Amino acid sequence: MKTHAEHKTNWTVMILLILGLITIAFPLYMTIIIAFKQPSEMTNSISGILSLPKSWSLNNFKEAMEVTDFWNSLKNSVLISVLTVVLSIVIHSLMGYAVGRNKAHSKFYNFVYLFIVSGMFVPFAILMMPLAKQTAEMGLGNWVGVIILYVVFYMPMNVLLYSGYLTNIPIALEEAARVDGASTWRTYWKVIFPIMKPMHATVAVITALSVWNDVMTPLVIMAGTGQNTLPLAQLNFQTQFGTNYNLAFASYLLALIPIVIFYVICQKQILNGVVNGAVK
């Protein structure tokens, strides 16, 4: 039989789950119904905002795609996100491996680890203007410069994740590979890199979500180039006199679909990465 403490814990967990569901489901409900409504259906009353659309029409989505030049903006967002994720997995996993395997017995690698991780505490607002000027002078005021900056910005968190995940991988595997004559480079790519597949998926989703939803970096670096990512294009719905919520929410739903599909594909590997990363 369950004790009183166990029943109390179960009720607490249930209440928290319900609150979490409401927190997620209610904004999603609002986004969907407003995206399908016509501007004439938007009233100042709560009941008018929460009510279902009188007719479910895709006109808002069609107009939103035209306003944001959707396919071109989507192409830019996908290009930047995919290249950032690939470079992050390759570069950050290598750095995480080098630092994670050596920081315990090397003051130099421990310093490098702390130096890299400390980058998480530097806000982008401090670096914004110097980076905009520097990238412009170097001819990187475009999507290439944005990708380079993303790889640098997400390095602290990803190196932290990779180096922590390495604690679950026995060093005996690397020793066995060396006995068989494999070099450190070959050992990493043939033994360690495949084992870190769950963490690759976790890093990919975290990085992709951050890049996909980011506005400030493309806005500062790519200003004046005529190239837009989806978040940048969605700024067109905000004017000096107000915001067209119907078109904006329709555009948000369109932008949500690709990243949700990507998350669903990687979901199983992410769960494995979280479970394995929590067990030492």
What digits encode the pLDDT tens for the residues 193-232? 998 988 898 899 889 999 999 988 998 888 777 788 898 8
Report the pLDDT value the prediction gives residue 28, as an integer from 0 to 100.
84
Residue 16 tokens, joined: 């928290």
34-63 mean pLDDT: 77
Q: Considering only 84-98, 156-170, 254-268, which range has the smallest mean pLDDT?
A: 254-268
The Cβ of residue 272 has, within 10 Å, a number of other Cβ atoms equal to: 15
**Phi, psi (deg, nearest 5) at residue 112:** -60, -40
The Cβ of residue 71 has, within 10 Å, a number of other Cβ atoms equal to: 9
CB 103 within 8 Å of CB 113: yes
Nearest-CA neighbor of 161 among 213, 104, 115, 201? 201
Residue 256 tokens, joined: 């949500």
Average per-residue pLDDT for the chain: 83
Q: What are the residues facing 238 on neighbouring strands? A: 243
For the stretch 130-139, what's the b/e string if a residue is b when 16 or more beta carbons lie within 10 angstroms of its beta carbon?
Answer: ebbeebeeee
In this prediction, residue 87 has a pLDDT band, given cuts at 50, 70 and 90, of: very high
* pLDDT-above-70 percentage for the chain: 87
Nearest-CA neighbor of 157 among 256, 59, 88? 88
Report the pLDDT value the prediction gives residue 269, as an integer from 0 to 100.
65
Report the pLDDT value the prediction gives residue 156, as an integer from 0 to 100.
93
In this prediction, residue 273 has a pLDDT band, given cuts at 50, 70 and 90, of: low
Report the pLDDT value the prediction gives residue 278, as an integer from 0 to 100.
41
d(CA 36, CA 56): 6
In this prediction, residue 277 has a pLDDT band, given cuts at 50, 70 and 90, of: very low
